[in-house]
Chain A
Amino acid sequence: MAFEGLADRLQSTIKKITGKGKVSEQDVKEMTREVRLALLEADVNFKVVKDLIARIKERAIGQEVMDSLTPGQQVIKVVKDELTTLMGGEQSKIAVADRSPTVIMMVGLQGAGKTTTSGKLASLLRKQHNRTPLLVACDIYRPAAIKQLETLGEQLDMPVFSMGTEANPVDIATKAIEKAKEEHHDYVIIDTAGRLHVDTNLMEELQQIKTTVKPDEIFLVVDAMTGQDAVNVAESFNEQLDITGVVLTKLDGDTRGGAALSIKAVTDKPIKFAGMGEKLDQLEAFHPDRMASRILGMGDVLSLIEKAQTNVDEKQVKELEEKMRTMSFTFDDFLEQMGQVKQMGPLDDLMAMIPGANKMKGLKNAQLDDKQLSHVEAIIQSMTKKERQDPSIINGSRRKRIAKGSGTSVSQINRLIKQFSEMKKMMKQMTNMQKGKKGKGGFKLPF
């Protein structure tokens, strides 16, 4: 694959540096060059990249990185910090007008996904906010665009206002709002035709709709796959219409989505929602921090490190290591350890944070179920103290009892005991290896 993650890219540069006592300015320059290429490959606009790199260089040449023992990781951290700052916080609120209805206008290039997003947004408003939106078909140009919105309306069982292709979009919008008032709709979502930002006539039409219906929100719908041109599009729509927010579509594809960063940088308008699939309920709040990781082509390593650091007590780790060495690791310790893992959050989230985990064979389709953890917990809790200390005494009748007590089956208990003994064996090997190296603190959770 042409796109390796930033972490991989930096690896080779770092290899050259390790062994050196100190990181030189030249080294930092090389690293920032890699960062620059990674961002460009992710379709972040080059001007935006330039500004970012300048800031990153400044921080990287400063104390933070130069004095660090792990300069590579520090660079990644600095980059991610900068990216996250630029992306801003999460903002998925939708305006509410003082006097109903609240009017939302959807604008954007052809094929960005305005009509689909209109339907999704209406569905979200009804589901999460208990609203009764009216969809308005103002795309009189593209063949069957009205039909598309009407079909979506049918699928959602939601009203769609249209006046055919002969009417003027400004009139359609005006009449729609009158109708919304009559029928007590609290939201009006106006779907407009896709147009190029350089098409003066059509942009004027949008301005006319804007001045006539005075929308409370103007959402620019942008395809997440957009390349360097994203800045021109976003800047132009924002200048001419003063948009209030952005919806990023097709984010369920495999694009790195650098356009998100570019758009935020040039418009300073929040990206509020993300289209995550073809189904009408697949519109989600946009998470800037996740986007930052995605653009860098890495899982959320840093949060994982942070999470592990805060949740795992140093002292407990030492005790555990001692136990592993002496082979006195018991089911009680296992339970405790599981508790720590659980504190870090849902397993799926943890997996998503590990770079490359989604590409690993076998893991890709593994349904990581938190329920499985609960089952294991229940089984151990159904054991007596003695059984937990010494699993070898668990015979057939004890297994039956434990199965009953935990609401599981004997085969599940067999499996757990087998896994546990294998784990113990593995631990022995691991600690033996460490003795040879005399390393300390190399302990890793056996998950």
Chain B
Amino acid sequence: MGFMDKLKNKFKQNEETEEVSKKYQEGMKKTRHSFSGKLNDLIARYRKVDEDFFEELEEVLITADVGVTTVMELVEELRMEVKRQKIKDTNGIKDVISEKLVEIYYGDDNQEIEKLQLQENGLSVILVVGVNGVGKTTSIGKLAHQLKQQGKNVILAAGDTFRAGAIEQLEVWGERADVAVIKQNAGSDPAAVIFDGIKAAKSRNADVLICDTAGRLQNKVNLMNELSKVKRVIEREIPDAPHEVLLVLDATTGQNALNQAKTFSEATNVSGIVLTKLDGTAKGGIVLAIRNELNIPVKYVGLGEQVGDLQEFDANAFVYGLFADMAVEE
């Protein structure tokens, strides 16, 4: 039984998974087409596994924004594997490539979905950070909606006091999700807003407090310090909080996403990633690089504009979506 069949079977196990994988397939249609399409094309064009083949394989992966370092490592491993298994033609290498890719996604850990770390009892605080325009506020809105649906008492704190219209934007999401939004005037100290948010969440016995922050480029030292301060305020009020620090990344971002993940982690100890805008033609290969180089798990992916399109990251479904074309052909 080939590797793809194994994957396929895994998904046929229950209907719920099937539904999830359908959403992924839909959302990642363009991604999948271009990525695995190219891989198939590559395999068809080269009969022999030689240096030219590897060079082109490198390019395919780089085009998916996987990241040069990761690609180099992967291709090096493939070279060894080809030698070891004495693979001569490109058809034989197909499975090996997929297996290696999957290995990077999963790492050595078990293949469990990494869920949001929420407290069983009492208040959980989620801090949301990222550069400008990645979709922090939108993701918060969708997340709030979903948590509310699960029966949680959610409060939002409008910590983006800088960007014009940011507070109003969060308020609209608050109305849509029917959750309270704690805010101050534009231009006020974000740490103070978050402090208010914690106070309100405590007094109203909320289950989850989601803190929005202003977008900031990671090389702006002052703004990163401001973010550390926000985190310290949370820590001071609730010792083991924030329970999650979610870094929102735009899937269209290239290599700089790694820099973002590194620098934001230094400032706020990022515990998970929300990968947005995966419904475009962006390849999402950055997920590979992030998991491989930084070992920060991806917790959510944005697969569309609808509230339900923010999905828990499921590496299995993600890989399946990426390789669905290949699985069908086999």
Chain A residues within 8 Å of B, Cβ to Cβ: 2-3, 37, 40-43, 45-46, 50, 109-113, 115, 142-152, 155, 196-198, 223, 225-230, 232-233, 250, 252-256, 258-259, 278
Contacts and interface: CB of A to CB of B under 8 A. Distances in A.
Interface in B140-195: 141, 162-166, 168-169, 171-173, 186
Contact of B133 (A110, A228, A255): A110
Interface in B247-268: 250, 252-259
Of A109, A152, A227, the most chain B CB neighbours within 10 A belong to: A227
Contacts of B316: none
Interface string B196-219: 000000000000000000000111
A227 B65 contact: yes
Contacts of B228: none
A155 B283 CA distance: 38
A144 B252 CA distance: 24
A3 B255 contact: yes
Contacts of B282: 227, 229
Given A225-B131, A230-B254, A255-B259, 6 more contacts: A109-B277, A143-B169, A143-B172, A144-B169, A147-B169, A150-B165
Contacts of A40: 62, 68
A111 B171 contact: no
6 contacts: A143-B172, A148-B169, A196-B280, A197-B280, A233-B280, A278-B162
A2 B293 CA distance: 10
Contacts of B255: 2-3, 41-43, 227, 255-256
A148 B165 contact: yes
A81 B163 CA distance: 40
Interface of B: 30, 59, 62-65, 68-69, 131-135, 138, 141, 162-166, 168-169, 171-173, 186, 217-220, 250, 252-259, 277, 279-283, 286, 293
B217 A233 contact: no
Contact of B253 (A41, A142, A145, A225): A225
A197 B59 CA distance: 24
B63 A253 contact: no
Nearest to B251: A229
Which of B63, B250, B252 has the most chain A CB atoms closer than 10 A to its own CB? B252
Contacts of B257: 225, 227
Contacts of B168: 143-144, 147-148
Pick from A109, A111, A253, A256 the residue with the most CB of B within 10 Å: A111
A223 B186 contact: no
B281 A232 contact: yes
A155 B164 contact: yes
Contacts of B68: 37, 40-41
B259 A254 contact: yes
A113 B131 CA distance: 12
A253 B263 CA distance: 12
A46 to B, nearest CB: 5
Contacts of B217: 250, 252-254
Contacts of A146: 165
Given A3-B255, A110-B277, A198-B281, A253 B219 contact: yes
A314 B22 CA distance: 72
Contacts of A152: 164
A198 B133 CA distance: 19
A152 B168 CA distance: 14
A208 to B, nearest CB: 20
A399 B19 CA distance: 86
A113 B172 CA distance: 20
Nearest to B280: A196
Contacts of A196: 277, 279-280
B62 A151 contact: no
A115 B132 CA distance: 12
Contact of A223 (B166, B218, B253, B293): B253
Contacts of A229: 65, 252, 280-283
A228 B255 CA distance: 9
A256 B256 CA distance: 8
A255 B254 contact: yes
B252 A226 contact: yes
A146 B169 CA distance: 10
Contacts of A37: 68
B71 to A, nearest CB: 9
Contacts of A46: 59, 62-63
A17 to B, nearest CB: 21
Contacts of B253: 223, 225-227
A50 B217 CA distance: 31
Contacts of B293: 2
